[in-house]
Amino acid sequence: MTIRGEIGSYSLSSPQDAQQVADYLWNTYLGGQSSTRPLGDAVLDGIDFDIEQGTDQFWSDLAKALAAHNSQKKVYLSAAPQCPFPGNGVANQLLPAVREGLFDYVWVQFYNNPQCQYGSGNADALLARWNEWTQLNTNQLFLGVPAAPGAAGSGYIPPDALISQVLPTIKSSPKYGGVMLWDRFFDQQNGYSNAIKGSIN
């Protein structure tokens, strides 16, 4: 089982700062050693980058520094960038690092951005951006969608529309990894994963 920790909004000031953060994460949560490990003997398998604020600088440095520990223990790296392509401002802080192919999994958030999400029964904008994301140097690419109308500000796709309008196209990509739902609470309330699980592979 893979268990990852998540980095939220944060700004890195330099490559040296990125290295210090990587060392802290390795020693405190991953395979390193520290006297202040908050999870005790538990060891996380990786780190998820969910950066929506701050600058877009030095995330590649952080990912490279974390991946440098792979010779000791595999560190899985995942990213949850927003769907605008190319990103601008805080809309997509991770695009430069994603372009470098540093992540094992990329869960693109196809919601809360009208220019690249499902809307008014139409999936054209979403599919156009998906095709652009597949051109990047990524490994497995996941379609991130809200699990219920209340899970995000916009971009909810009814399960039947996902199955009929979106999945047939995106599953043709060799980079397709599956569907990411935000979030588990809303999924349990709405039954979204149960409705689509027979169609995602």
Pair (70, 130) in one structural domain? no
Pair (67, 108) in one structural domain? no
Tell me if 3 is assigned to some domain: yes
Q: Is 52 a catalytic residue?
A: yes
Tell me if 99 is assigned to some domain: no
Cα gap 121→86, rounded to integer Å: 24
Tell me if 93 is assigned to some domain: no
Pair (61, 123) in one structural domain? no
Q: Are 47 and 4 in contact, with CB atoms under 8 Å apart? A: yes
Tell me what the mean pLDDT of segment 39-63 comes to.
Answer: 85
Pair (69, 137) in one structural domain? no
Of all residues in the chain, what percent carry a pLDDT higher than 90? 72
Pair (118, 198) in one structural domain? yes
Pair (191, 116) in one structural domain? yes
List pLDDT tens digits, range 118-145: 999 999 999 999 999 999 988 899 999 9
Q: Are 16 and 57 in contact, with CB atoms under 8 Å apart? A: no
Q: Judge if the upstream peptide bond of residue 183 is cis by omega within 30 degrees of 0.
A: yes
Tell me what the mean pLDDT of segment 91-111 comes to.
Answer: 86
Tell me 22's DSSP state: H
Pair (69, 139) in one structural domain? no
**Exposure string (b/e) for 14-53, b if CB count within 10 Å is 16 or more?**
eeeebbebbeebbebbbebeeeeeeeeeeebbbbbbbbbe
Tell me if 48 is assigned to some domain: yes
CATH number at residue 179: 3.20.20.80
Pair (112, 57) in one structural domain? no
Pair (124, 67) in one structural domain? no
Of 15, 42, 77, which residue is a domain's last?
A: 77
Pair (111, 40) in one structural domain? no
Q: Of the listed 6, 52, 100, 132, which one is catalytic?
A: 52
**CA-based nearest residue to 155, from 190, 200, 110, 197:** 110
Tell me if 91 is assigned to some domain: no
Tell me if 87 is assigned to some domain: no
Pair (110, 196) in one structural domain? yes
Amino acid at 100: E
Q: Is 115 helix (H, G, I), strand (E, B) or coil?
A: helix
Question: Does 54 score more than 50 pLDDT?
Answer: yes
Tell me 171's DSSP state: T
Number of domains in the chain: 2
**3-state SS track over 50-112:** CCCCCCCCCHHHHHHHHHHHHHCCCCEEEECCECCCCCCHHHHCCHHHHHCCCCCEEEEECCC
pLDDT of residue 1: 37
**Number of helices followed by number of strands (H, E) in the chain:** 8, 6
Cα gap 60→97, rounded to integer Å: 5
Question: Does 2 score more than 50 pLDDT?
Answer: no
Q: Is 139 helix (H, G, I), strand (E, B) or coil?
A: coil
Q: Are 51 and 93 in contact, with CB atoms under 8 Å apart? A: yes
Pair (199, 129) in one structural domain? yes
Tell me if 86 is assigned to some domain: no
Domain that holds residue 192: 104-201
Tell me what the mean pLDDT of segment 56-73 comes to.
Answer: 88
Tell me if 189 is assigned to some domain: yes
